[in-house]
Amino acid sequence: QVYLAESVGGSVQGGGSLTLSCAGSGSGLRTFCMGWFREVPGDWKRELVAMVDKDGTTTYADHVKGRFTISRDSDKNTLSLQMNSLEPGDTAMYYCAAGWAGRCVAGGRNGMDYWGKGTRVTISS
């Protein structure tokens, strides 16, 4: 079993920066695909933000490319998301997620296997 816990999110003004962290535990986590997803208010869909496979290969959603950076520390089982140039449209509940390697190959289209409880990020204009 894998457990994931996100750090507390926050509220910042547009143009600002915020870093999210996720602490994971569980056997084999270092071999898993890991990523960040988000749910925008009023939209039930959980969409991909960014993901990274066990080798460090990253995938980003188009709307965050150049602004967000995902990174992982496999020794510590942690995952981070550095978010810069934040926009009101980035306001969402952010979820840390992990899954078997094929989840990264699928680019998040098939979901993930384990989820954190989520952390709220609010960006004001």
Residue 91's pLDDT is 96
**Digit-coded pLDDT (tens) for 92-104:** 999 999 999 889 9
Segments in the chain forming alpha helices (H):
102-105
Segments in 8-111 forming alpha helices (H):
102-105
Nearest to 35 by CA among 67, 80, 91: 80
Residue 34's pLDDT is 97
**Digit-coded pLDDT (tens) for 3-25:** 999 999 999 999 999 999 999 99
Check residue 91 and give left, alpha or beta (phi > 0: left; psi -120 to 50: alpha).
Answer: beta
Contact 2, 29 (CB under 8 A): yes
pLDDT at 43 over 90: no
Mean pLDDT of 78-94: 97
Contact 22, 9 (CB under 8 A): no
